[in-house]
């Protein structure tokens, strides 16, 4: 799913849906169904989540510069993850969106080493995110795009977020049985 520059958190998940509580499974799924409903339909005629569905068929989101700008809301990466997205590959991030993505462990916020992917890739292209080699492969066009390494954020996301990582590494006590 390809979006342009300056996609703000209100486009990712509008404020009226922030009353949903992600820790409740039914509300988590509902949150996913509202991912990207704030995008203007004229500019984005293909919805990220099809009407009547709770999840998206797009596991990778490709964005331009300043992805996730606007207000700080953890619901933004949570909504994308709840919809089935696994990674956002963008030319740049608002720092708070990047941090919330890592803290929640919902999506990998991967940054392109060079610009171009958000203008060259199209919604529906078949892509692979190769974390080991830090590359986005567009199988539809045959192009590859270098990614900046995810670094120390990778293990935190893999663990399921900052609290899960802290429990896994012994920084905080595990939940009692």
Q: Tens digits of per-residue pLDDT, 143-164?
A: 999 999 999 999 999 999 999 9
Residue 24 placed within a domain: yes
Q: What tens digit of pLDDT does each residue of 72-114 get?
A: 889 999 999 999 999 999 999 999 999 999 999 999 999 999 8
The tally of domains found in the chain comes to: 1
Taking alpha carbons only, the member of 125, 127, 129, 124 closest to residue 148 is: 129
Residue 177 placed within a domain: no
Domain, as residue range, for 63: 2-169
CATH at 67: 3.20.19.10
Residue 135 placed within a domain: yes
Quick one: DSSP state of residue 39? S
Residue 174 placed within a domain: no
């Amino acid at each position: 799913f390809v979006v342009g520059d300056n996609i703000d958190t209100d486009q990712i998940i509008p404020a009226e849906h922030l009353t949903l509580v992600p820790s409740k499974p039914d509300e988590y799924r509902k949150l996913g169904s509202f991912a990207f409903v704030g995008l203007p339909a004229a500019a984005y005629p293909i919805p990220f989540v099809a009407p009547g569905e709770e999840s998206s068929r797009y596991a990778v989101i490709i964005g331009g510069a300043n992805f996730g700008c606007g207000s700080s809301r953890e619901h933004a990466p949570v909504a994308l993850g709840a919809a089935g997205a696994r990674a956002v590959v963008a030319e740049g991030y608002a720092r708070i969106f990047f941090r919330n993505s890592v803290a929640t462990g919902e999506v990998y916020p991967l940054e392109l080493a060079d610009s171009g992917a958000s203008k060259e890739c199209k919604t529906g292209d078949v892509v692979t995110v190769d974390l080991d080699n830090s590359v986005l492969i567009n199988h539809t066009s045959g192009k590859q795009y270098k990614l900046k390494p995810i670094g120390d954020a990778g293990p935190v996301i893999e663990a399921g977020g900052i609290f899960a990582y802290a429990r896994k590494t012994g920084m905080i006590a595990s939940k009692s049985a």
